[in-house]
Amino acid sequence: MADTPLLLREQQYHQIKAVLARLRMDSAARVVFLVDKDGQEIASQGEIGNLDTTSLASLAAGNVAATGGMAQLIGEKEFPTLSHEGERESIHISVIGRLLLIVVFDERSSLGLVKLRSKQISHQLSAMVDEISKAEFDESDSPFGEITDEDIDSLFQ
């Protein structure tokens, strides 16, 4: 099931954004992202400004994959959290099943507060994603539901 795409309905997307907004407020973070392990951004909340969110999402996924390799070398399944502290900005990444919760914060917050709040929210996000993954996607809701393979083939003739 981890290889199947996560299909969000608009209401589910807004629920996830609300959870991210609460995490941002509770942890005094600058920005919070939810990304899949392939590096695709699912939702974000906060002061994005001129931040290249696409690059940040893919680099975070690569970082988790690389440290996952290191974890396996020493006999661990994975490292569920990663933190990078800079002079002014820091990043905390939590692995939540097939997703990554990325929190960017500055001196207004602390790593301890971000870890605590992220852990609390991780359980809620995990339950939400499990529910979304288990829900059957109704083909009639899809704008592509009525398109057949023959329709697609006819486009290339």
What would the 3-class secondary structure string for 30-58 be? CEEEEEECCCCEEEEEECCCCCCHHHHHH
pLDDT, residue 48, reads 86
**Bridge partner residues of 141 (DSSP):** none
**Domain regions of the chain by residue span:** 10-155
More confident: 130 or 140: 130
CATH of domain 10-155: 3.30.450.30
Q: What is the pLDDT of residues 55-69, one digit of tens each?
A: 999 999 999 999 999
pLDDT band (50, 70, 90) for residue 47: confident
Q: What is the pLDDT of residues 25-35, one digit of tens each?
A: 999 999 999 99
pLDDT band (50, 70, 90) for residue 1: very low
E-strand spans in the chain? Answer: 31-36, 41-46, 81-85, 90-96, 99-105
- Relative to beta strand 99-105, strand 41-46 is unpaired
